[in-house]
Structure 1
Amino acid sequence: MENSAITEEGEKTLYQKDIKTIAKGAGINCFGEIIGTIFAFVFNLILARWLSADYVGLFFLGMCINRFVTDMSVCGFGYGILRYVSIFYQERDIQRTKGAIISGLIIVIPLSILCAIVLYSMSDTISVSFFHKPEVSSVTKIMVFAIPFAAASEVLLSSIQALRIMKYKVYVKRLIIPITQVVIFLILLSLGMQFKSALISYTVSIVLGAFFALYFFRKKFAIFDKKITAIYNFSELAKFSATRLFSQLVIFFCVWTDTFMIGYFMTSKDVGVYNIVCRLILLGTLIFYSFGTIFAPIISSSYYKKDLDSLKRYYAVVTKWAFVLTFPYYLLLILLPDYALNIFGEGYLAGINCLIILSFARIIDVLTGPCGLIITMIGKPLVNLYNELGTFVLNIILNLFLIPKYGIVGAAIATTISVTLINLIRIFEVYTILKIHPYNASYVKHFLSGLVLIGSVISAKHFIFPHCGIPFIAGITLGCLCLYFVVFRLLGLDEEDYIMLNLIRKRVSYGTTEG
């Protein structure tokens, strides 16, 4: 009995330690994501307020084309570098580590330059034949200069990540690029430049990001040290990376299909409105994906040890807290869509229905938890690839029918159906394979807290908001949000909830100094 008690106590301590790992890691990742997203949001806000929705749509179409060509030119080498550099560096094989990095750069940089040249030369044809918008060509011809730098940056940052140093990737992607983009944009606007200021700031920020990526990389690895003779592995690296390219493109199109198809069927203004709605939706995904990032190795470890009980508890606590922290945000978007979109200007109020529909999609996404991540981390990435491919095909079919008839609302409906279906399939797959799910009776508290939030916001919207200015409305909304968490707290917390709350509070207070 005594030994059993000791064992249970040890398991409990280990469980709490792993929960702390999840929370601490989520805090570090979330800090970088929040800062980057704030500046990206500021850029989009200035873009939307300063320019019309038509120009915003052209910007996003250009960015969409640019990212597609960048992904094509990288050819999955980001994943290949991450895998092989990590293996060689862990084995202290510096020659093969150097060889893998140089192999990636030798292949990716010339290929990205070639892709950029091809895109530049074909931009008129693409703009007229596919998008039926000749003005897209001038956008593409400016943004195209960022492609080689974005591709090189991807290889360098993947190399740094493979050396188990995450902060530099956060510095470049979440701090340097978003901040310089906003600063350059504001400077050019003050000089009287209009739409081109957005294109130039986007391009220059990526170029600067690439130089910083090289600077940080050289600090941690002597890539130019002639004393280290590189041992190359082109074929092995290329084979692995090529297999990842297809998966990468499927993921890309799952994200950007709506923009491409709205651009094909509808006007630039529709593209602009829809993408501004998507920027609001993406704000709520920060916490969910931050928890998921640090949850990944714990999934793998628990599954390897065949400790399904712990895996189930981790799955439950991550899903629960991601839902607790994001549910009120999406409820507010559903209840106050006009106030949310009016921040960007009256021209974007056409996206109200889209915002409501996509908010429901994200609530379902968060409620089902990181089930896709679990499927990948237990060694079944092909299952996830088939899921994503099925989602992509379904989304295209739905968009083909719905966008011509319902416009951007049709695109939102298509995305919601696709997201709901894929998440239901994934959670069924996780349950079929592992016999686990993340739900328990405590979810009743979340929905009760949500009902309180709904009631308070609806009451405020009808009786208080019509007589108040924007600052007072924001204050009342924040008060309603606080009420949600107060009610949740009064309904009682589980043991894991206290651990997670304490650590989240510590990360908020001390996360910047620790990072």
Structure 2
Amino acid sequence: MNKELSTVTKQSGMVFTGKIIALIFGLFLNFLAARFLGAEIYGKFMFVFNFISFFPVLVLVGLQQGLVYFIPKFDDNEEKAQRNNLITFSYFLVFSLSLIVITLIYFNSNFIAAKLLNSPQLEHLLKLMAPLILFIALGQLSQGVFRGIKKIKFYVFNQDILVPITKIIVLIIAIILGSQLYSLAIAFYCSLIFGTLYLLTTVYRLGLLSKFSLNPLKHYKELLKFSLPLLLTGFLAVISQRTDSLMIGYFLNETQVGIYDIALKIGTLSSFILVAFNTMFAPTISSLYHRNDLATLSSMYKAITKWVVGVNLITFSVILLFGQDIMHIFGKEFIAGSTALVLVGIGQIVNAGVGSAGYILIMTGNPHYEMYLNFLVVFINVTLNLLLIPLYGIEGAALASLVSVAIANIVKLLLVYRKHRLHPYNLNYIKLICSIVFSLLVTQWLKSLLTLSWYSEFILLSLLLVLLSGLIYYIFGLDTEDKMVIRSITKKINKK
């Protein structure tokens, strides 16, 4: 187990570093957009972008996950030609489907804006943004390729450094030149085109492409047979994630979409650590399962989930104490989203609490469970949004998201235990939770005593909460796996 945990942690450490950098860039980008464009213009862009985001999942037809599952099966040199055929076929199929979907949206933009978005004035923005589908889809497919060959550093560099930096530079230039509504669209275009070219060039340079051929038809069918159920799974997941913003735009207005989007982005910041571990843990799950080494898989599941839970609990503690101050950073009009921010944060704790349960189901050959669960979640989420948004506004949307996320993750956890007798918990969680709760109470006490400016209190006490939680757990709670995770991540970060 030590070897596998060390390998996943080192590789996840690189993703972790990239996600930290991406969080900083992402927050700065959102700050620029919110401060200089305002909630209404920012909300218009995000309203259309959330709608556009449904379609990359459709054109991917689950291939990004399918490649993660199939590529490790072709590790031998004599099988690399078959691997390259699968990768080339996947790119060709996604490219072709993207062009078809973009064309359909362009020629039906009037109907979509008026009937589906309930905002006819968004037709031109919808036409402008439709081609983003192609670049988003190719980028997500490339993630599956790099995860499959366990060289995720190329995707991390692109997604977390190259693309965000390009977005920020282009957005600043667009704002200086006086562009308002289309400035974010221009920034996204430039960054995604640049990033897609980098990813495709890297795939070609690594020798992962071949001449397109239909000869290995059997392998293509196997890939699609595994991937197609994940198409519905992925699409339902996107519906669950984007429904609240879309329905806020439909029932309320674009300004509320902008406020809620900032709350959602801040509230889900801590998900980066789960993404980091899952990115490299997924191929390891498949490998351990095929070797029938469930004992190692169980130990890794416990160690990784505990770290994910710890980061999410600390982040939520900061949100609980300084929710209004955090939203104030983006402008006074965004303070209205502070309650929604807290509700989103609770949902993230539930999501973190089951760790990689969803990936365990998929990578052990049970993707259909994800599909069934997503059906349930979408039904609950849409129903609750229909009921709660007209009554409670963005807080109703956040509550609907919280309930649906909680139900989905609890069921995933139960399914993993039923199928494989795996769960992520041990007694060390008690030490972790006690460390964070004690730190939260101390920080709250100091907050009641201090009379500093809101931003000074936020910065100083947030740092104190994080450092105190980490110090107490380091002294009283670290076990062998924790120390290994720390060493592996530290080595990888220092090396990079």
Return the TM-score normalized by structure 2: 0.91
Match of 2:427 among 420, 429, 441: 441
SS at match of 2:120: coil
| Residues 103-161 of structure 1, C-alpha deviations (whole Å, 9 max, x = no match) | 33443333322321221222222112122212322221221232333334444554455
Q: Is the 8 A contact 1:68 1:252 kept in 2?
A: yes
Structure 2 residue identity aligned to 1:53 = A
Match of 2:280 among 286, 289, 294: 294
Structure 2 residue identity aligned to 1:256 = R
Distance in 2 between residues matched to 1:490 and 1:203, nearest whole Å: 48
Match of 1:496 among 471, 477, 481: 481
Residue matched to 2:390: 404
SS at match of 1:344: coil
1:476 lines up with 2:439 in the alignment: no
Q: Is the 8 A contact 2:59 2:97 kept in 1?
A: yes
| Residues 435-459 of structure 1, C-alpha deviations (whole Å, 9 max, x = no match) | 3432232222222222222222222
Compared with structure 1, are the counterparts of its residues 471 and 507 closer, same or farther at alpha carbon in structure 2 (3 Å cutoff)? farther
Compared with structure 1, are the counterparts of its residues 445 and 97 closer, same or farther at alpha carbon in structure 2 (3 Å cutoff)? closer
Distance in 2 between residues matched to 1:356 and 1:337, nearest whole Å: 7
Q: Is the 8 A contact 1:270 1:408 kept in 2?
A: yes
Q: Is the 8 A contact 2:72 2:283 kept in 1?
A: no
Q: Is the 8 A contact 2:343 2:402 kept in 1?
A: yes
Match of 1:118 among 100, 104, 109: 104
1:146 lines up with 2:154 in the alignment: no
Distance in 2 between residues matched to 1:99 and 1:443, nearest whole Å: 45
Residue matched to 1:429: 415
Structure 2 residue identity aligned to 1:337 = G
Compared with structure 1, are the counterparts of its residues 30 and 62 closer, same or farther at alpha carbon in structure 2 (3 Å cutoff)? same
| Residues 204-242 of structure 1, C-alpha deviations (whole Å, 9 max, x = no match) | 2112222222221221228587xx988463962555544
1:278 lines up with 2:264 in the alignment: yes
Quote the offset at 1:246 in angstroms: 1.6
Q: Is the 8 A contact 1:98 1:230 kept in 2?
A: no
The structure that has the greater radius of gyration is 1
Between stretches 252-261 and 271-280, larger displacement belongs to: 252-261
> 1:376-391 residue pairs with structure 2 within 5 A?
376-391=362-377
1:354 lines up with 2:340 in the alignment: yes
SS at match of 2:264: helix
Distance in 1 between residues matched to 2:384 and 2:238, nearest whole Å: 18
Q: Which runs of 5+ in 2 are unaligned?
A: none
Quote the offset at 1:56 in angstroms: 1.4
| Residues 253-280 of structure 1, C-alpha deviations (whole Å, 9 max, x = no match) | 1221212222221211111111111111
Distance in 2 between residues matched to 1:247 and 1:426, nearest whole Å: 13
1:208 lines up with 2:194 in the alignment: yes
Identity percentage of aligned residues = 27
Distance in 2 between residues matched to 1:492 and 1:84, nearest whole Å: 39
Residue matched to 2:236: 250
For the aligned residues, what is the CA RMSD? 2.6
Residue matched to 2:114: 128
Q: Which runs of 5+ in 1 are unaligned?
A: 1-14
Quote the offset at 1:20 in angstroms: 1.6
Between stretches 410-419 and 423-432, larger displacement belongs to: 423-432
Quote the offset at 1:469 in angstroms: 5.6
Structure 1 residue identity aligned to 2:55 = V
Corresponding residue pairs, total: 494
Compared with structure 1, are the counterparts of its residues 70 and 383 closer, same or farther at alpha carbon in structure 2 (3 Å cutoff)? closer
Compared with structure 1, are the counterparts of its residues 208 and 293 closer, same or farther at alpha carbon in structure 2 (3 Å cutoff)? closer
Between stretches 69-78 and 264-273, larger displacement belongs to: 69-78
Compared with structure 1, are the counterparts of its residues 118 and 392 closer, same or farther at alpha carbon in structure 2 (3 Å cutoff)? same
> 1:173-188 residue pairs with structure 2 within 5 A?
173-188=159-174
Match of 1:51 among 18, 23, 37: 37
Q: Is the 8 A contact 1:61 1:136 kept in 2?
A: no
Compared with structure 1, are the counterparts of its residues 489 and 467 closer, same or farther at alpha carbon in structure 2 (3 Å cutoff)? same
Distance in 1 between residues matched to 2:336 and 2:468, nearest whole Å: 30
Return the TM-score normalized by structure 1: 0.88
Q: Please identify runs of 4+ aligned residues in structure 1 that moved more than 6 A.
A: none
Compared with structure 1, are the counterparts of its residues 378 and 193 closer, same or farther at alpha carbon in structure 2 (3 Å cutoff)? same
Structure 1 residue identity aligned to 2:51 = I
